[in-house]
Amino acid sequence: MAELHLKSVEKTYGNGFKAVHGIDLKVEEGEFMVLVGPSGCAKSTTLRMIAGLETITGGEIHIGDKVVNELVPGKRGIAMVFQNYALYPHMKVRKNLSFGLSLKREPKNKIEEATNNVSNILEIEELLDRLPKQLSGGQAQRVALGRALIKQPEVFLFDEPLSNLDAKLRASMRVRITDLHKRLRAEGRPATVVYVTHDQVEAMTMGDRICVMKDGHIMQVADPSTLYERPANAFVAGFIGMPEMNLVPAVLKNDAAPVLTLHDQSITVNEGLGHRLAGLAGPVTLGIRPQHLEVVVDGSENAFSAQITNLEFMGHEINVHAKIGDAVFVAVVPTEKFDASLGRGDRVGLKPIGPHIHLFDADTGQNVSLSANG
Amino acid sequence: MVALTDLPKPDQKTPPTALELKLRRKARINTAIRYSVLIVVGLIMVYPLVWMIGASFKTNAEMFSSPSFWPKEPTIQGFIDGWKTSTPYTFGHFFLNSLWIIIPKVIGTAISCTLVAYGFARFEFPGKKILFVTVIATLLLPNVVTRIPQYLLFRDIGWLDSFLPLWVPSALAGDAFFVFMVIQFLRAIPRDMEEAARVDGANTLQTLVYIVVPMLAPAIISVCLFQFMWTMNDFLGPLIYISSVEKYPVSLALKLSIDTTEAFAWNQILAMSVLTLLPSLTVFFLAQKYFIEGISTGGVKG
């Protein structure tokens, strides 16, 4: 196992399109790094550049202490799991697993031992003599995982490996993969993993750290809780979290306590925000997660007055959609705390919880409400 | 339109409903009409072939006296005489010649077409578009047009009266149709398997041999089959390049018996024609399963 280091890596295609704009990323030895972002953010391209399936047009990629820029994929010490498994359709599972080793001309007994070992870990012993077309999606993905595991690579690369599975299977495979990662770590041979996904649930639950990407730029690299609690910019704030964070233009005035003006309403935030702002004032983007927006009686002090436009019953909680001027907010309320008499068109008060308010620069989108120590 | 197979079988315990009876009657009429048309047209198409097989067992005298295909006095004299031929060689010798032309040609075609198609389908290189257009252009060009320049070329190299002019163009992927067919097939196969192989450490040639060729098998088998049948039936090629009787393939040998005999022994010619058909038919039926998979390009599971 080794660390992976991308230094100002760039990718420009033959037609002049620049997909990756000089990204710097360091994945520590044994770390589970998730690359996440909307489609077209170049996360898969980045992964394929690490694998060597795409050439890089600038910068350096280090795996361990060697620069792998110009090495072919087979010589980089990586293993990759593909979205659609990419098992060799004409080979039995056993041969699929051992193909890489037999290309390296490893002795037969060693290959057999490795095959048995891996199939034991992934519980695919009874599948060894089947062809890929006789496997279910989950089984095929386990075999694909085994094909990566058997090579004992320096770095594991996963390219949206779970997106072809149904929701239930995806959840169980997610646990299986993180389990495996922790198990290898406990056994003293930690696996460095780069995992690409567009699914933030996968990102949040699996990653030691998450790298959020957009249009070939890295927006933020941090562990899941930092990403959620202290997003560096409006993009990360909106991308992570379900339902999405409410992001609305507002005006900030800083008197004794910060005053937020939205449409024609102003509220004073008495606690949890002022000390983070350092006297900042002017137009900003207000960001508040639906979970951090209290629904109170209309006319309550320091709450915006809003009109309910929709109610979504989710079982244990209710998503309240409410409008202030043109801006629609979503608030999540536990079902038992929700006043059942409220309906479409009724007015309620929306009160952002001070410590969870984020303010983003109206132009750059950078989070301006992050104080140095949190 | 209701097909009979869509309706429940009448022997089931519940009595058929009125609608079921009506639909069944309609379906019967429909089926009867469709099958009659198919049978008539099918018979018209296949009759010459059936007649030929029948006629090969007739005597020469009976041949043109009755239009029926069933011989009155079946005889295999046609086969015996035809096999001997009017040359010093038996027909078996010509069969071997044919095989000697076909087998290297088929192997050469399979290898060269796969290599060229792999290059076109999977790699980017300067001039790829122009080269591909050239390949397609030769596909559209009638074969006959290139015969004369090709003849002159092979004459100057000194390959006349040998099998080389028949082998070499195919071994250099000269059959644009096959290249095109394999390219189309390859385009329908996702690249992920090849990328997985590269990550597994395979070089380009290993990827081709271990991963691509097995996945291409149905297409390659179709290529071999087409090449086998077309070469077996090819008349013009051997006619132009091969001059000594000793090297004649069956297609030329058949014509030989027309030339040299004063009164055409039609029964012999037909008997040998029937034999000539056999290898192609046999090969076709043996490879039918793969062949159908190969020409319906969509038959690839990802």
pLDDT digits (tens, 9 = 90+) for B141-200: 887 888 889 999 999 999 999 999 999 999 998 889 999 999 999 998 889 999 999 999
Q: Is pLDDT at A131 greater than 70 in this prediction?
A: yes
Give the pLDDT mean for B211-222.
91
Shortest CA distance from B192: residue in chain A: A86
Residues A204 and A197: their CA atoms lie apart, in Å, by: 11
Domain identity same for B31 and B162: no
Judge contact between A159 and A47, C-beta under 8 A.
Answer: yes
Shortest CA distance from A156: residue in chain B: B199
**CB nearest to A53's CB, from B190, B198, B302:** B198
**CB nearest to A86's CB, from B192, B217, B301:** B192
Residue pLDDT, tens place only, B80-130: 888 888 788 888 999 999 999 999 999 999 999 999 999 999 999 999 999
Judge contact between A124 and A180, C-beta under 8 A.
Answer: no
Which residues, 6 or more positions from A171, have their beta carbon under 8 angstroms from its beta carbon? none
Q: B65-76: buried (b, 16+ CB within 10 Å) or exposed (e) per residue?
A: eeeebebeeebe
Backbone angles phi, psi at A326, to 5 degrees: -95, -15
Sort out which chain B residues have CB atoms less than 8 A from A84's CB and list them. Answer: 190, 192, 302
Domain identity same for B73 and B86: no
Q: How confident is the model at residue B15 (pLDDT cuts 50, 70, 90)?
A: confident
pLDDT of residue B77: 84
| Domain-terminating residue out of B79, B106, B124 | B79
Asked if B198 lies within 8 A of A89 by C-beta distance, the reply is no
Query: Closest by alpha carbon to A317, among A337, A297, A347, A342?
Result: A337
Domain identity same for B35 and B122: no
Burial class (CB in 10 A: 0-12, 13-18, 19+), B177: middle
Q: How many CA atoms lie within 13 A of A212 on its CB side?
A: 22
Q: Is pLDDT at A47 greater than 50 in this prediction?
A: yes
Shortest CA distance from B214: residue in chain A: A90
Sort out which chain B residues have CB atoms less than 8 A from A151's CB and list them. Answer: 200
For B99, the domain range is 82-295
pLDDT of residue B297: 47
pLDDT of residue B52: 87
Q: Which residue blocks in A20-136 are alpha helix, DSSP H?
A: 43-51, 93-103, 108-121
Query: Closest by alpha carbon to A298, among A342, A262, A355, A260?
Result: A342
Residue B301, in any domain of the structure = no
| Domain-terminating residue out of B56, B79, B102 | B79
CA B157 vs. chain centroid, Å, equals: 30
Q: Is pLDDT at B302 greater than 80 in this prediction?
A: no
Residue B18, in any domain of the structure = yes
Q: Which of B194, B198, B199, B208 to mutate to test the interface with A (most CBs of A within 10 A)?
A: B199
CATH number of the domain that residue B175 is part of: 1.10.3720.10
Across chain A, mean pLDDT equals: 91
Domain identity same for B252 and B177: yes
Domains defined along chain A, listed by start:
4-229 (3.40.50.300), 244-361 (2.40.50.140)
Judge contact between A331 and A342, C-beta under 8 A.
Answer: no
Residues A111 and A105: their CA atoms lie apart, in Å, by: 9
Asked if A74 lies within 8 A of B192 by C-beta distance, the reply is no
Q: Which phi-psi region, left, alpha or beta, contains residue A336 (left: φ > 0; alpha: ψ -120 to 50)?
A: alpha
**CB nearest to B202's CB, from A52, A74, A78:** A74
Q: Is pLDDT at A204 greater than 90 in this prediction?
A: yes
Strand A209-214 to strand A317-324: parallel, antiparallel, or no bridges (unpaired)? unpaired
Judge contact between A220 and A231, C-beta under 8 A.
Answer: yes
The β-bridge partners of A284 are A250, A361
Asked if B196 lies within 8 A of A73 by C-beta distance, the reply is no
Q: Which of A15, A48, A84, A103 to mutate to test the interface with B (most CBs of B within 10 A)?
A: A103
Residue B300, in any domain of the structure = no
CA dist A101 → A86, A159, A218 (Å)? 17, 22, 35
Residues of chain B with pLDDT > 90, as a percent, come to: 43
Judge contact between A230 and A370, C-beta under 8 A.
Answer: yes
Residue B37, in any domain of the structure = yes
Domain identity same for B155 and B56: no
**CB nearest to A72's CB, from B124, B198, B215:** B198
Which residues, 6 or more positions from B14, have their beta carbon under 8 angstroms from its beta carbon? none
**CB nearest to B302's CB, from A53, A80, A84:** A84
Domain identity same for B94 and B202: yes
Q: Is pLDDT at B300 greater than 70 in this prediction?
A: no
User: Among all chains, which residue has been given the structure tokens 């071999």?
Assistant: B224
Furthest-apart CA atoms within chain A: distance in Å: 78
Asked if B202 lies within 8 A of A75 by C-beta distance, the reply is no
**CB nearest to A74's CB, from B201, B215, B301:** B201
| Domain-terminating residue out of B26, B45, B79 | B79
Minimal Cα–Cα distance from A77 to chain B, Å?
Answer: 9
Interface of chain B against chain A, CB under 8 Å? 124, 190, 192-193, 195-203, 206, 210-211, 214-215, 217, 301-302
Domain tally, chain B: 2
Shortest CA distance from B217: residue in chain A: A90
Asked if A100 lies within 8 A of B193 by C-beta distance, the reply is no
Residues of chain B with pLDDT > 70, as a percent, come to: 94
The β-bridge partners of A195 are A34, A158
Q: Is pLDDT at B268 greater than 90 in this prediction?
A: no
Domain identity same for B134 and B39: no
Domain identity same for B212 and B116: yes
Judge contact between B173 and B116, C-beta under 8 A.
Answer: yes
pLDDT of residue A281: 83
Asked if A87 lies within 8 A of B302 by C-beta distance, the reply is no
* 3-state secondary structure (DSSP) of residue A117: helix
Q: How confident is the model at residue B265 (pLDDT cuts 50, 70, 90)?
A: confident
pLDDT of residue A50: 95
CA A236 vs. chain centroid, Å, equals: 10
* 3-state secondary structure (DSSP) of residue A191: coil
User: Among all chains, which residue has been given the structure tokens 């088929």?
Assistant: B106
Query: Closest by alpha carbon to A355, among A289, A296, A271?
Result: A271
Which residues, 6 or more positions from A48, have their beta carbon under 8 angstroms from its beta carbon? A54, A159
Residue B249, in any domain of the structure = yes
CA dist B281 → A167, B268, B301 (Å)? 51, 20, 29
Residues A350 and A250: their CA atoms lie apart, in Å, by: 15
Report ipTM (2 d.p.): 0.86
Minimal Cα–Cα distance from B301 to chain A, Å?
Answer: 8
Q: How confident is the model at residue B12 (pLDDT cuts 50, 70, 90)?
A: low
Residues A74 and A145: their CA atoms lie apart, in Å, by: 17
Q: How many CA atoms lie within 13 A of A77 on its CB side?
A: 18
A84 touching B, CB under 8 A? yes
Report cis status (omega within 30 of 0) of the bond before B8. Answer: no
Q: Which two tokens stand for residue A118?
A: 């891996």
Q: Which residue blocks in chain B are alpha helix, DSSP H?
A: 18-55, 77-84, 91-122, 128-140, 147-157, 164-171, 176-187, 192-199, 204-206, 213-233, 236-241, 250-260, 266-295
Residue pLDDT, tens place only, A92-121: 999 999 999 999 999 999 999 999 999 998
Minimal Cα–Cα distance from B215 to chain A, Å?
Answer: 7
Sort out which chain A residues have CB atoms less than 8 A from B215's CB and list them. Answer: 89-90
Residue B212, in any domain of the structure = yes
Domain identity same for B19 and B101: no
Q: Is pLDDT at A24 greater than 70 in this prediction?
A: yes
Residue B63, in any domain of the structure = yes
Residues A57 and A54: their CA atoms lie apart, in Å, by: 10
Give the pLDDT mean for A341-354.
91
DSSP letter at A100? Answer: H
Shortest CA distance from B193: residue in chain A: A86
Asked if B199 lies within 8 A of A51 by C-beta distance, the reply is yes
Asked if B200 lies within 8 A of A90 by C-beta distance, the reply is no
Sort out which chain A residues have CB atoms less than 8 A from B206's CB and list them. Answer: 103
The β-bridge partners of A265 are A262
Domain identity same for B74 and B115: no
Domain identity same for B130 and B220: yes
Residue B302, in any domain of the structure = no
Domain identity same for B167 and B63: no
